[in-house]
Every structure is written in C-alpha cells, then in structure tokens.
Chain A
Amino acid sequence: MNLVSYLGPLLQNAGVFIILALGLNLINGIAGQFSLGHAGFWAVGAYVGASYGVFFAPAFLPDFVNLLISNVLAIIAASIAGILVGVPCLRLRGDYLAIATLGFGEIIRIIINNLDVVGGPRGFTNIPHWSNLFWIYLWVVICVVMLANLLRGTHGRAIISIREDEIAAAAMGVNTTKYKTLAFVIGAGMAGLAGSLFAHAQQFIHPSSFSFMWSVIILLMIILGGMGSMTGAIVGAVFLTFLPEFLRLFGETVSEWRMVIYSLLLIFLMLLRPQGIFGKHEFNLKRLWPVKTGDAK
C-alpha cells in the first residue's frame, strides 16, 4: 500500500479533529462550561457546507472560492446554532449543561436523519471534493493564531476568569453570560468550520458520522491533552486520530475493543496525571527561561 494514500486521509482527519478539539477546549477547558454536544455543531457545519456544494455552488467559481464560501456558511450556521443552544443552556450549571448540550447533539442528528433532501439515513453523497491537506491545515493555523491572540487579550481573560471563579468574575465587572456565550459561539463556529472541511474532504457524510460517541471522543482528546491547553488539544486530537489505526495493526478484535481501550486509557490518565498531558500549559519556548510563579518544583 502506498504510504501517501494511507497517511493522507488520516492527516486530513487529524486536522479536522484539531479544529474540533480546539473549539471544544475553548468551551470546556477555557470557559469551564461542560458541553457534550460538539458533534452536533460539527454536523450542522458539515451538512450546511455540503448542501452549498451540492445544491447552490456556482460552477464558474474556482474550487477554492467555493470552499471558502462553504466554510463561511458553515461557520455562520453553526454559530447561530451555538447561540440558539447557548443562550438558554448556559444558565444551567455543570451536569445540567452537559445533559442539555448532549440532547441538542442528538436532536440535530435525528433531524438530519429525517431530512430526505440531504439523504436522510442513506447519507449525503456526491459532495464536491474541494478541501485537502493544504486548506485544512491553513485553517488549523488560522484557528491557533486567532485563539492564542484572543486568550492574550482582555476578552480571553474575561472568558478564563469565568472558569476560575464565576462569582468573582461578575464582581470584577465581567458580564459572565456574555462571555460564556461568546466562548460557546466561537467553539461552535469552529466545529462548523471543521464540518465543512470534513465534508469536502470525505465527499460523503452520514448522520452516524456525528453521533454522540464523537462528542465523547472529542472531549477525550482535550481531557487527554489537558483541559484548557491548546497544545494539549492538538496533541490529543492527533493521538486519538492515529490510535485506532495503530490498534488495527493488532487485528480486528483489538480494533473492535477500541472504546474499552479508550476507557482504560482515561482511567490510567485520571490515576497518573489527572490534569492531562499538558495541564493548562502551552508549549512555549519562553518556558526554557522560566519566570517565578511561586510553584513548588
């Protein structure tokens, strides 16, 4: 087997999952709002992007322009879904928010399953092949730079303060509802982007591509890498994209027990390094010249 044709799709998926994990990390890890519906926003983006490609895209436009239009539409659609879900749900705390977002993800999947125009349970086929490694990783870079800059500004600090102590944040004049919603909408928009890139890379999407299990796996990516760390989200996404392929080397049985292996992995992680591989830290060259944080060595 040709290594490029084997690695290509895997790297594509890794890029898509990096964007998904970065978005969920903003919601769960940085704003501290426990969401379990990320696959729902991913689905919205994928189906909106794919619908544009199949039904509306003018053929005279170059592919990359059509891809960008599809990306933008997917971001807008998923962000709107983010507002619709976020505004009522972000009033809920902890477990309740998780359940409400989980419900949203399932509702989206069921709606798509019953939408005949986009193939319903048969899946959505013949999506134009516009995205590739270049576009996916260009977007990865844009997302990383955008998020890093966001977090170093006052809006990012406001989002972090909510995770740290919501009551203190409000006492410091931070409109907590606004910034929770902002984090949620940006995260959802990024999932939408990932959906559109994914659809135009795969050319075929199916409602079960976006099942609850995927929300859990994306969550696992950020838990593994370290909630609140972008570096962690990236490493977690790449790791969990390649792990199933690695397991396949050991035969079908091991591969089928994938979810069990993930669970064991999670248990070991909780025992050995509950904060995830990177904790809340980022990969940073400056760390070679450490500043005093008062942390015990």
Chain B
Amino acid sequence: MNVVLKADALTMRFGGLLAVDKFSMEVAPTDLLGVIGPNGAGKTTVFNMLTGMYIPTEGRVSLLNEDVTDLSPHQITQRGMSRTFQNIRLFKDLTVLDNIRLAGHFRLKYRLLNSILRTKAFKQEEENLITEARELLKIFSLEKKETFLARNLPYGEQRRLEIARALAIHPKVLLLDEPAAGMNPNETKELTALIRWVRDHFQIAIVLIEHDMALVMNVCERIYVLDHGVEIARGTPAQIQSNPAVIEAYLGAST
C-alpha cells in the first residue's frame, strides 16, 4: 500500500499523564479516516504530534516517506500537511481573503525587495494568489464575504473558512479537528457532503476527529477509536458500530 502519512507508536506524556500510548496509523493518498473517542481520549494530542506542535515522547511520524518527527510545524505544513483546530484559530482581525492568502505565503517566490519596489513579479504572483483564493472561497460559499473580517463571520462560516484556509496550503494530507463542532444539523449535513467532495475533487487524504457520529459513520472509510490514550478499536464504520469494546467505552457512555 502506498502511504502518505504514517504514525509509528506515537506516545505523549505530560508529566505523569500518559495522554497517548503507542498510537499507530497509516494513511493512503485518498483515504478518508476518522479518529473518535470520548473527551480527553488524546485525539487532539495525536494531531498535535503529527503536525509538529508537540514533540512526541516516543514514536515517529513520516510524511510522504520523510521522517518529520523533529521538524517544526511550519516545516511540516510546507511539506504537505495542514490542519484545522478544535477551537477555531483564524486570523480574526484579517479579512476572509487575507486569511486564505496567508496560506499561500510559503509558495510565493517573490522577495521582500519585490514587494517594497512593487515589481512585476510581485504584482503577477499576488494576482494569481487572489484568483486562486477566490476559487476556494467559491467552493466554500464564502465568495461574497471576502472583505469581511474573519471575526465577523457566523460560527459555521468560520469553520468553513478554516477548512478553506487549510486547503489553500495545497496539502496532500488534511487534518480536521472537530469540523462540525458547534454547527447546527443542517450545516453539519452540508459539511458532510463538502468533506467528501473535497477529498474527491482535490484527491487528498483527510483524517478527521469528530463527535458527530452520523458524520463520522457517513463519511469515514476507516475509523480509529481512542480511549484514555489507547487505541481500543479500528475498522470500518460497520465494524466499529458493532464492536463491544467501543460500545462499552464510548457509544455506550453517550446513549
């Protein structure tokens, strides 16, 4: 199997707390995977280790066949993995368009001097960047809001903008941390369709953390279940739904 992202026995300790214990995962180029588990299970911590925000206590991460465990977050992003955050982290006082443009930053080739002297290279690249940003905004139905400050968007649109911004990185792997949190059922339904469409259209791998079971079971092809930092199950939605350990630890607790 062709693997774009590989987590190998990732372990994270915070002092005495074992937040994640030997978590392993393999992601193929167009996989759509889910990570579920009760609050505090260690899901976000896994994302933080994958993206370089935390250095794992043990274990390795490899992205596109390169060991990225010790790289910093911006280096990992530049190598093709981007993410959204559980507590939305937009650039709140910047416009919707600028939020997207920032994601193109590292791909632009013009130098500081080009922008100070307003050279042709500067104008050309900025123009292309804006064109591309607008296309993305259209996909996420945000094109009418490009001049809005991010903080003035309704919650659901902020979530969508954050996903659009992560896509503007041109990632090979996209990590979504609770993308439907705080959305109403209608928005969640639209988001479900959008996530699948994004995967098909951009041909990228998506890993998502989600509490909305309908969304996860609907869109994910394989699911990892974490409880107290330990993987208690993995498999297809059907397998997960009928797994006694999962029902005990997670589904059982919520029904």
Contact B82 A149 (CB under 8 A): no
Instruction: Using C-beta atoms within 8 Å of the partner chain, give the interface range for chain B.
Output: 35 or more
Contact B118 A149 (CB under 8 A): yes
Nearest to B154 among chain A residues (CB) is A294
Shortest C-beta distance, A25 to chain B (Å), equals: 16
A157: contacting residue among B102, B118, B153, CB under 8 A? B102
Contact A158 B105 (CB under 8 A): yes
B148 at the interface (CB under 8 A from A): yes
Contact B77 A170 (CB under 8 A): yes
A174 at the interface (CB under 8 A from B): yes
B39 at the interface (CB under 8 A from A): no
Q: How far is the CA of A161 from the CA of B148 in the complex (A)?
A: 16
B169 at the interface (CB under 8 A from A): yes
A249 at the interface (CB under 8 A from B): no
Contact A293 B95 (CB under 8 A): yes
Shortest C-beta distance, B204 to chain A (Å), equals: 16
Which chain B residues lie closer than 8 Å to A169 at the CB level? 74, 91, 102
Contact B116 A171 (CB under 8 A): no
Q: How far is the CA of A168 from the CA of B82 in the complex (A)?
A: 10
Shortest C-beta distance, A80 to chain B (Å), equals: 18
Q: How far is the CA of A295 from the CA of B152 in the complex (A)?
A: 7
Shortest C-beta distance, B49 to chain A (Å), equals: 14
Which of B83, B91, B152, B169 is the most central at the interface, judged by chain A CB atoms within 10 Å of its CB?
A: B91
Which chain B residues lie closer than 8 Å to A291 at the CB level? 147
For B122-138 the 0/1 string (1 means CB < 8 A from A) is: 10001001000000000
A62 at the interface (CB under 8 A from B): no
Give residues 150-204 of A contacting B (CB, 8 Å). 150, 152-158, 160-161, 164-165, 167-176, 182
Q: How far is the CA of A245 from the CA of B110 in the complex (A)?
A: 46
Contact A164 B91 (CB under 8 A): yes
For B109-125 the 0/1 string (1 means CB < 8 A from A) is: 01010111110001000
Contact A160 B94 (CB under 8 A): yes
B211 at the interface (CB under 8 A from A): no
- What are some 22 contacts across the A-B interface (CB < 8 A)? A149-B115, A149-B118, A150-B116, A153-B114, A153-B126, A155-B112, A160-B91, A161-B94, A161-B102, A164-B91, A164-B94, A165-B91, A167-B73, A171-B74, A171-B77, A171-B89, A173-B103, A174-B106, A175-B106, A293-B95, A293-B148, A294-B149
Q: Given contacts A150-B112, A169-B74, list 4 more A-B pairs with CB under 8 A.
A: A154-B108, A173-B106, A293-B95, A293-B148
Interface residues of A (CB under 8 A from B): 146, 149-150, 152-158, 160-161, 164-165, 167-176, 182, 280, 291-295
